[in-house]
Amino acid sequence: MLLGLLLVAIAAVSWGTTGATMTLLSRDAAASPLLVGWSRLAVAAPCLVLAAACAARFGAQDPVRRPWPSVADLPLCAALGLAMATYQVCYFRAVTVVGVAAAALLAICSAPLFVAVLAAVFLGERLTPLVRLSLGMAVAGTALLVVGPRGLGPEGLDDVAGHFGLGALLALGAGVSYAVYAVAAKGLLARVTPIAVAAITFALAALLLAPALLAEPAPARAVAAGWPLLLYLGLGPTAVAYALFTAGLGRVPATAASIVSLLEPLTATVLGLLVFGERLGGVGFVGAGLLLAALTLLTARGDRSAGRPRG
């Protein structure tokens, strides 16, 4: 259990660097969020497919899991690829409509709630009192982290809550997409190796998202200008991070993994403070404390009570 939580935590911290990298790409290479999202998938997919092929050929045989999905697994594979591609489109588009803060608030904070519901319905995971408490603390802490720089005054709340509508629906769609990915991957991991699940997910997502590049102005110029950072995004926070997350997800309940993955916005906030001179504010520090307390509680007691599957 603890190893699985550690793998998910490392992945989440890595994901937390993507916002800073996106800021640099937008500033220095004029790269659009959609192009950056597709580039992550396009770089990660062949790496993961190659790793899965090597593991199937030269690695130790798993007595329970197959090295590749079967024909019967195609519906779940399609759901994973579609969820990953949809997340890229919904989240990055939501950022352009309602801004980073509101999009992150709606997408990241809603995801654990959607995961908890889907995991309870489809995976039979029980929401124990400990998990409920950790979930509530983590979601509240993440919300305060996002709202923190603006404060809880009328002007700050209006800034966060005043741009709903299409942008809000897109951000919530990103939260649902993440939840579908986590729950579908959890089901597939019972019979397919984690590296193969990650490889199929990103390969399908990259193919599904590729047609959207037709609407991008001069994508080759942006790629040429920002290729080192795009390569980092594809290899570090994407290929390696999702492989770690998928492996961790195979060891822990989906709801617990979703709570630990909230380290992503905490990491992004720290980088914003240290690198870009952003301000967290008192409210944000309270949110960070709540989030860390939730993660500590879940890690300390998770091996005994964190949402065990029924059966």
C-alpha 279: how far from chain center:
24
The per-residue pLDDT for range 166-203, each reduced to its tens digit, is 777 888 888 889 888 888 887 788 889 888 888 999 99
From 190, 229, 231, select the one nearest 47 (Cα to Cα): 231
| Percentage of residues in the chain having pLDDT higher than 90 | 17
| pLDDT tens per residue, range 249-293 | 778 887 778 778 778 777 877 787 778 776 667 777 787 788 778
Residue 101 pLDDT: 62
pLDDT confidence band for 113 (50 / 70 / 90): confident
Q: Is the pLDDT of residue 8 over 80?
A: yes
Mean pLDDT of the chain: 79
Distances, alpha carbon 122 to alpha carbons 98, 128, 210, 257, 273, in Å: 32, 17, 31, 16, 40
What residue segments make up the domains of the chain, in order of their start? 2-305
pLDDT attached to residue 136: 83
Q: Which sign does the torsion angle of CA 43, 46, 50, 56 carry?
A: positive
Query: What amino acid is encoded at 73 in this protein?
Result: D
Question: For residue range 218-227, what is the model confidence (pLDDT) as tens digits?
Answer: 888 999 999 9
C-alpha distance from residue 10 to each of 41, 116, 240, 260 (Å): 19, 21, 10, 10
**pLDDT bracket for residue 308 (50, 70, 90):** very low
Decide if pLDDT at 50 tops 90.
yes
